[in-house]
């Protein structure tokens, strides 16, 4: 017997209402603000494309490009480093599987602010790496490019978001039917061939979801570039955040955010075409 439609609807009404008020309406407001302007510290609601014209200037295009470059780098590194881990956990590990999975999940629960901070301790002029290099005599003076650079931001973002890539990938790899692999072996496929022609294509949905889980937050990163990027490394997240500070440039900041969001949407659409994503449980 099916329940009556109204009682079913009641379950969805409250969460839908919350998302509408605190997510959909704010996103629409953001979009509206991007076409408005500020006059004498007052938002004036008249339609203008000025904010978007300003973004097309060389400075902002450059920051957007370097943000994309850095996020792609972080995503590719996470994939290259994380794929073998997901593969090992899903198909090769014999003992301590639960413990190892737990160890991958644990960092996910740790504050991204704390994890960013940890890299300040490691990469700083007096940081752990410089001390080791100095003590072993490999360098005479501390390396100053370790912290406050693209390098620092990249390594910290990989550290923070890679577990988000490993888990969906693990889920997909674990579900691959062993009989498919046996068939590949029986047909004379070697290890490399089986991997490239069977396992890799079958794992693409996990790769797609995992890459998005790294790429999206990297594109919008704000805390990590702010603390580790310094003046040498600029990401669009910091530029957007500045517009919402004392500058009171809400409309311009909203336009920047909208451009960022459209870039994310385009990439998401393209990436998802290569595989239907499966949800990630925990």
Site for other proteins in 133-192 (CB under 8 A): 159, 162-163, 191
Closer to other proteins at the Cβ: 100 or 204?
Answer: 100
**Residue selected from 73, 79, 98, 270 as contacting other proteins according to rule CB under 8 A:** 98
In the complex, what is the shortest distance from the CB of residue 107 to other proteins, in angstroms, rounded to a whole number? 5
**Residue selected from 109, 138, 140, 179 as contacting other proteins according to rule CB under 8 A:** 109
**Residue selected from 72, 73, 77, 120 as contacting other proteins according to rule CB under 8 A:** 120
In the complex, what is the shortest distance from the CB of residue 142 to other proteins, in angstroms, rounded to a whole number? 11
Burial 248-266 (b: 16+ CB within 10 A, else e): ebbbbbbbbbbbbbebbee
Which residues in 42-81 contact other proteins (CB under 8 A)? 43, 81
State the DSSP code for 37: E
Closer to other proteins at the Cβ: 60 or 244?
Answer: 244
State the DSSP code for 149: S
Q: Phi/psi of residue 37, each to 5°?
A: -145, 165
Q: Helix 112-123 crosses helix 150-175 at what angle (to 10 degrees)?
A: 130
Cα distance between residue 173 and residue 138, in whole Å: 42
Cα distance between residue 134 and residue 141, in whole Å: 7
In the complex, what is the shortest distance from the CB of residue 217 to other proteins, in angstroms, rounded to a whole number? 6
Residue 232: how many other CB atoms lie within 10 Å: 13
Closer to other proteins at the Cβ: 191 or 273?
Answer: 191
In the complex, what is the shortest distance from the CB of residue 88 to other proteins, in angstroms, rounded to a whole number? 4
């Amino acid at each position: 017997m099916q329940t009556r439609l109204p009682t079913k609807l009641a379950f969805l009404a409250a969460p839908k209402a919350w998302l509408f008020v605190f997510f959909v309406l704010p996103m629409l407001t953001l979009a509206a603000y991007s076409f408005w302007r500020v006059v004498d510290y007052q938002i004036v609601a008249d339609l203008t494309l000025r904010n978007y014209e300003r973004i097309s200037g060389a400075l902002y295009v450059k920051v957007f490009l370097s943000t994309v470059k850095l996020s792609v780098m972080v995503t590719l590194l996470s994939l290259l480093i994380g794929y073998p881990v997901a593969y090992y956990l899903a198909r090769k590990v014999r003992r301590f599987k639960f413990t190892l999975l737990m160890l991958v999940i644990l960092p996910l629960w740790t504050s991204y602010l704390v994890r960013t901070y940890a890299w300040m301790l490691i990469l700083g002029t007096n940081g752990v790496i410089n001390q080791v290099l100095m003590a072993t005599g490999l360098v005479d003076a501390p390396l100053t490019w370790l912290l406050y650079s693209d390098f620092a931001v990249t390594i910290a973002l990989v550290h923070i978001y890679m577990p988000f890539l490993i888990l969906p990938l693990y889920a997909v790899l674990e579900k691959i039917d062993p009989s498919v692999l046996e068939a590949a072996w029986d047909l004379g496929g070697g290890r490399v061939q089986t991997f490239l022609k069977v396992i890799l294509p079958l794992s693409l949905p996990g790769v797609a979801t995992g890459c998005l889980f790294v790429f999206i937050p990297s594109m919008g990163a704000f805390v990590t570039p702010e603390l580790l990027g310094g003046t040498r490394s600029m990401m669009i997240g910091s530029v957007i955040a500045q517009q919402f500070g004392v500058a009171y440039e809400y409309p311009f900041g909203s336009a920047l955010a909208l451009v960022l969001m459209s870039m994310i949407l385009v990439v998401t659409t393209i990436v998802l075409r290569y595989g239907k994503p499966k949800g990630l449980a925990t």
